Structure 1
Amino acid sequence: MSVDPLLYEVTFSDAEVVLAGSLAVPDRHAAPSPGVVMVGGSGPSDRNNDTYFPPIRRHLVNAGIAVLSYDKRGVGASSGEWRDATIDDLAADAVAALNFLRAQPGVRADAVGLFGHSEGGWVVLRATAGQDDAPWVITNSCPGMTPANQDRYALAKALRQAVTTQQDIDSTLALYDRLIEAGRSDGDFAEATRLVDSAGRLSGFVDYWADMDERSWEFLKRKQDHDPIPDALRLRCPHLAIFGGADELVPVADSVHLFSAAACNPDRRRRAMLAVEVFPGADHRIQTDGGTRLAPGYLTTLTRWIKARTGPNLDT
């Protein structure tokens, strides 16, 4: 029977930022266990990534795997500000979390890896690519392309599902493309707002632009052309890429192709094997039935894959 693990409130530092999180270790008095750092998705994600991480954490800990998750900088009890950060900054936070978990009693320092959901996948790929001794990395619904291309796909998908005309779709995507180019030219938020206003505040763009402010615009500019494939090419460890087949935010087939092409590159380390799992009918959070439950087999896939890469001393 699955039970809720005992969570410890912890803090650790990355340079001037103090990050707060929750730590769960299966049994501090038993043989040391493998561990996983869980990194949340885009926006102000906390240690639970809304409600997504707790059932995954519960399953992992009950399976004998220690788990650390943390509030993104500027969220919850963590200091700093995520909108002022770069992918490199967020990756450095993930490395600080990795080192903190490695140092905990009851945890095997050589068997701690990173799990990143959505944007967190880009973060953990960057973090892991810079580590010589990372045993494995898992990306969960992580696009294999830039944020600019992934967001355009998601916007187009949403527009096609709405009651709108092809002209509205074309006009909205053209506005999106103009904003991306403005970002590449280091246009400020005032320029971006003028572009949106001159387009007539297109109805299909309202949700995308609703929460945009100057700080968010600057963050998007820094992030929009981040390409995860160079990090995938630099991996020295196995990579599990998980997707939901019905994900409306990520172009799954294209992402699988891009990560697979990276794995086939002759410069990729031999140890950096790629495994891909696509769960048919599952959404961006690998959930089915309208987002009410995790896809069948998802949790088992996680634990078996991690344990297969952390030694035979744990039951499967």
Structure 2
Amino acid sequence: MPKRRGWRWTAWVMAGVLVVAAGLTGVVWQNTYALREEKVSLWHGGKLLQGVLARPDRGPGPFGLVVFVHGDGPVDATHETFYRPLWESFARAGYASLSFDKPGVGGSEGDWLDQSMEDRAEETLAAVRWARGRPDVDGRRIGLWGASQAGWVLPKVAARDRRLRFVIAVSPAVNWLRQGRYNLLAELDRDGASGREREAALRRREATLALLGRRASFAAYRAALGDAEGMTEARWAFVTRNHRSDATADLRAMAGTPLLLVLAGHDVNVDVGETEAVYREVLPASSLTVAHYPNATHSLVDHEVEDSDLRLTLTAVLAPRRLYTDGFLADQARFVRRPDSGGGTTPEG
């Protein structure tokens, strides 16, 4: 969800000074959630995964359950606490939330960069099976929530487990290669790149795609392109493994499972127009609900907040529930309360 930035250490120090000056009572309250969190573990593929089961703060259950599927990167179970406002909103709707550290993150064994989207789907199915064995989970009311890269995982899981009650897809792309091109051009436009810079970036992209197409080694990539621009050998292997991902066939296979598609108006990562068009073409209108948030970024944070380093950090510390764009948390809770309601378009946030 909210993106990582190199400024974080400095901004947190600044925020800490302000927090101390303002007093801690309100901050502690803002970062206290109506949840009962339990550390849990799961053995999958010979490796231990560790995570969190966050149940509503009252009642014995059994509760419905939302299983979280992360986006890209080394994400821990709480997404550095940014999932907790979502967990609380689901708890108020009578649902628990389940989330695991990615392999190699936190207490989980393995390496998330060694995974394919198929591997991630199998891991999610294992989490669902594990949850159905819990007496405090209502196995008839289990659904999925996933963001960004999870868009290539969620349909695979829902196509294989037809018992899932719903899917919530936040800022998903459809095709890995088209998404990459859109993201590149959107960032160049945002940064005011010149025509020459744009042409150079597109040439580099075409050269990279040619290398991926013949499954070239990282050494060959470095030899052909020189500056790695942040690419590592492990990341290159991950991209090589997954760059042909396309969600269309899996979306068709999961058709009929109620799905909430969440789209942001300031998304430079995903072409939301293409995503919506494909989802509407492939999925039955009766099972698809589309929610638009015109003021939000890819991470569903208001773009005015995300564009200010200091404002983003202060909001995260002092009022974390307000990080997300207006209506987003309430709409998530409303959807899981009535997952079998008809499709349509929610009021814009």
TM range (shorter): 0.7 to 0.9
Separation in structure 2 between the aligned mates of residue 177 and residue 54 of structure 1, nearest angstrom: 40
Extract structure 1 runs of 4+ deviating beyond 4 A: none
Deviations 1:19-42 (A, max 9, x none): 110101226744422110111110
Separation in structure 2 between the aligned mates of residue 83 and residue 238 of structure 1, nearest angstrom: 30
Separation in structure 1 between the aligned mates of residue 176 and residue 88 of structure 2, nearest angstrom: 30
Q: Is the 8 A contact 1:5 1:62 kept in 2?
A: no
Separation in structure 2 between the aligned mates of residue 120 and residue 297 of structure 1, nearest angstrom: 22
Counterpart position of 2:13: none
Which residue identity lines up with residue 241 of structure 2 in the other structure?
A: R
Q: Secondary structure at the match of 2:289?
A: strand
The reply on whether 1:55 has 2:70 as its aligned counterpart is no
Separation in structure 2 between the aligned mates of residue 24 and residue 179 of structure 1, nearest angstrom: 42
Separation in structure 1 between the aligned mates of residue 194 and residue 173 of structure 2, nearest angstrom: 28
Counterpart position of 1:15: 45
Counterpart position of 2:247: 228
**Structure 1 residues 27 and 50: CA distance shift in structure 2, 3 A:** closer
Separation in structure 1 between the aligned mates of residue 270 and residue 110 of structure 2, nearest angstrom: 29
1:178-197 correspondence to structure 2 within 5 Å? 178-197=207-226
**Structure 1 residues 215 and 234: CA distance shift in structure 2, 3 A:** same
User: Displacement, 1:211?
Assistant: 3.0
Corresponding residue to 2:67 among 37, 47, 50: 37
Larger RCO, structures 1/2 (Cα 8 Å, 6+ apart) = 2
Separation in structure 2 between the aligned mates of residue 26 and residue 102 of structure 1, nearest angstrom: 17
Corresponding residue to 1:277 among 288, 291, 300: 291
User: Displacement, 1:191?
Assistant: 1.5
Counterpart position of 2:305: 290
User: Displacement, 1:59?
Assistant: 1.9
Separation in structure 2 between the aligned mates of residue 29 and residue 51 of structure 1, nearest angstrom: 24
Q: Secondary structure at the match of 1:287?
A: coil
Corresponding residue to 2:271 among 236, 251, 256: 251
Which residue identity lines up with residue 278 of structure 1 in the other structure?
A: H
The reply on whether 1:165 has 2:197 as its aligned counterpart is no
The reply on whether 1:104 has 2:134 as its aligned counterpart is yes
**Worse overlay, 26-35 or 183-192:** 26-35
Q: Secondary structure at the match of 1:110?
A: strand
Corresponding residue to 1:242 among 251, 259, 262: 262
Separation in structure 1 between the aligned mates of residue 114 and residue 238 of structure 2, nearest angstrom: 6
User: Displacement, 1:298?
Assistant: 0.7
Counterpart position of 1:64: 94
User: Displacement, 1:143?
Assistant: 0.8
Counterpart position of 2:282: 262
Separation in structure 1 between the aligned mates of residue 33 and residue 238 of structure 2, nearest angstrom: 39
Separation in structure 1 between the aligned mates of residue 33 and residue 197 of structure 2, nearest angstrom: 50
Deviations 1:44-81 (A, max 9, x none): 11112234312111221233210011111111111111
Separation in structure 2 between the aligned mates of residue 158 and residue 110 of structure 1, nearest angstrom: 43
Which residue identity lines up with residue 284 of structure 1 in the other structure?
A: H
Amino-acid identity (%): 27
Which residue identity lines up with residue 115 of structure 1 in the other structure?
A: W
Q: Is the 8 A contact 1:240 1:276 kept in 2?
A: yes
Q: Secondary structure at the match of 1:148?
A: helix
Q: Secondary structure at the match of 1:44?
A: coil
Aligned residues: CA RMSD = 2.0
User: Displacement, 1:15?
Assistant: 2.2
User: Displacement, 1:93?
Assistant: 0.9
Counterpart position of 1:301: 331
Separation in structure 2 between the aligned mates of residue 211 and residue 104 of structure 1, nearest angstrom: 42
Q: Is the 8 A contact 1:115 1:121 kept in 2?
A: no
Corresponding residue to 1:211 among 230, 235, 240: 230
**Worse overlay, 284-293 or 240-249:** 284-293
Separation in structure 2 between the aligned mates of residue 163 and residue 112 of structure 1, nearest angstrom: 45
The reply on whether 1:116 has 2:146 as its aligned counterpart is yes
Matched residues, number = 294
Q: Secondary structure at the match of 1:187?
A: coil
Counterpart position of 1:89: 119
Structure 1: tracts of 5 or more residues without a match: 202-208, 265-269, 312-316
Separation in structure 2 between the aligned mates of residue 74 and residue 126 of structure 1, nearest angstrom: 23
Separation in structure 1 between the aligned mates of residue 82 and residue 202 of structure 2, nearest angstrom: 30
Separation in structure 2 between the aligned mates of residue 37 and residue 110 of structure 1, nearest angstrom: 13
- What TM-score comes out, normalization by structure 2 length? 0.79
Separation in structure 1 between the aligned mates of residue 122 and residue 48 of structure 2, nearest angstrom: 12
Counterpart position of 1:151: 180
User: Displacement, 1:101?
Assistant: 2.1
Which residue identity lines up with residue 195 of structure 1 in the other structure?
A: A
